[in-house]
Amino acid sequence: MAKIFCVANQKGGVGKTTTTVNLAAGLAKIGQRVLMIDLDPQGNATMGSGVDKRKLEHTIYDVLLESATVAQTRVKSEKLIKAGCSYDIVGANRELTGAEVELVTLERREKRLKQALVAVDQDYDFILIDCPPSLSMLTLNGLCCANGVIVPMQCEYFALEGLTDLVNTIKQVHANLNKDLVIIGLLRVMFDPRITLQQQVSEQLTAHFGGKVFNTVIPRNVRLAEAPSYGLPGVVFDPSSKGAQAFVLFAQELAARVWAK
């Protein structure tokens, strides 16, 4: 059975998509079968995996509205295949914005993704879901089907404040909709050890959340920021960069945590 993880944080621009695509590539690199689902109308994870979001026959929108199955929707990226580091992709584009409204009147609206994934569960070791920067119906669909949430965060003052809302939402989903859901861990991203405040927040995080904080820290690294414009995860774009190496280590740490259970 595939392990299903949401990469979520309702704060914008904290590194969710960068984490999703690089973790997908890192897991593929260590031999795991991975499906990456883009649940954000921005479609950044789709483009960042080398798939043109404007040219997709089907997207996650069709899956949520049950007009296509995951098997009909998933695609591969030529660039990733060439690099020998491939994962399957269920893409998204602006069309997905409409799903939010259309789902409201439908039955089982928060369980659509969960049901759609049953049919492909056996095909993968990991299913990773890139969530939008909101606690919306889309994110709720992600949380309802996931075994756990990976929370990327920058070590800044307001980061901790935002975390309370996310933790409360996860608690509510756990209590009412998905008993499996847990926070797998908090991932410190875009970390700059020269900044004292970041060190302090990082220490507060580990003091407060202990073992829930991943050991791996993702540094601020320009190669990770450049990679999307080439339609590649940093892990594939420049494997020797510090950022790419950190994400491969993170993939190993996550896999080890999962296998230890």
Residues of this chain that interact with ligand ATP (CB under 6 A) are 12-18, 40, 42, 44, 133, 189-190, 218, 220-221, 224-225, 228, 243
Burial of 246 (0-12, 13-18, 19+ CB in 10 A): buried
Q: How far apart are CA 102 and CA 108, in angstroms?
A: 12
Interaction of residue 220 with Mg ion, rule CB under 5 A = no
The backbone torsions φ and ψ at residue 75, rounded to the nearest 5 degrees and listed phi first, read: -135, 170
DSSP 212: G
Letters for 25-54 (x = contact with Mg ion by CB under 5 A, - = none) are -------------------x----------
By a kind-dependent CB cut-off of 5 to 8 A, residue 220 interacts, out of ligand ATP, Mg ion, none, with ligand ATP
Q: How far apart are CA 152 and CA 143, in angstroms?
A: 15
- Minimum distance from residue 92 beta carbon to ligand ATP (Å): 11
Interaction of residue 18 with Mg ion, rule CB under 5 A = no
Which amino acid type is present at position 33?
R
DSSP run (H or E) holding 182? strand 182-191
Q: Pick between residue 39 and residue 83 the one whose CB is nearest to ligand ATP.
A: 39
- Minimum distance from residue 243 beta carbon to ligand ATP (Å): 5
CB 24 within 8 A of CB 124: no
Q: Pick between residue 120 and residue 220 the one whose CB is nearest to ligand ATP.
A: 220
The backbone torsions φ and ψ at residue 11, rounded to the nearest 5 degrees and listed phi first, read: -75, 140
Q: Pick between residue 190 and residue 235 the one whose CB is nearest to ligand ATP.
A: 190
By a kind-dependent CB cut-off of 5 to 8 A, residue 15 interacts, out of Mg ion, ligand ATP, none, with ligand ATP
- Minimum distance from residue 36 beta carbon to Mg ion (Å): 12
> Any alpha helices (H) in the chain, and if so which ranges?
16-29, 44-47, 60-64, 70-73, 78-82, 96-104, 112-118, 137-145, 157-176, 196-209, 222-226, 234-237, 242-260
Q: Give the one residue of 17, 139, 198, 221 binding Mg ion; rule: CB under 5 A.
A: 17
Handedness of CA 33, 39, 41, 44 (dihedral sign): negative
Side-chain half-sphere exposure of 61, counting CA atoms within 13 A:
20
Strand-pair partners of 148: 5, 182
- Minimum distance from residue 13 beta carbon to ligand ATP (Å): 4
**Number of residues located near Mg ion, criterion CB under 5 A:** 3
Q: How far apart are CA 142 and CA 86, in angstroms?
A: 22
By a kind-dependent CB cut-off of 5 to 8 A, residue 197 interacts, out of ligand ATP, Mg ion, none, with none
Q: Pick between residue 97 and residue 115 the one whose CB is nearest to ligand ATP.
A: 97
Which region, judged by CB under 5 A, interacts with Mg ion, from 14-22, 67-75, 158-166, 178-186? 14-22
- Minimum distance from residue 138 beta carbon to Mg ion (Å): 12
By a kind-dependent CB cut-off of 5 to 8 A, residue 218 interacts, out of Mg ion, ligand ATP, none, with ligand ATP
- Minimum distance from residue 192 beta carbon to ligand ATP (Å): 9
Rule CB under 5 A: which residues touch Mg ion?
A: 16-17, 44
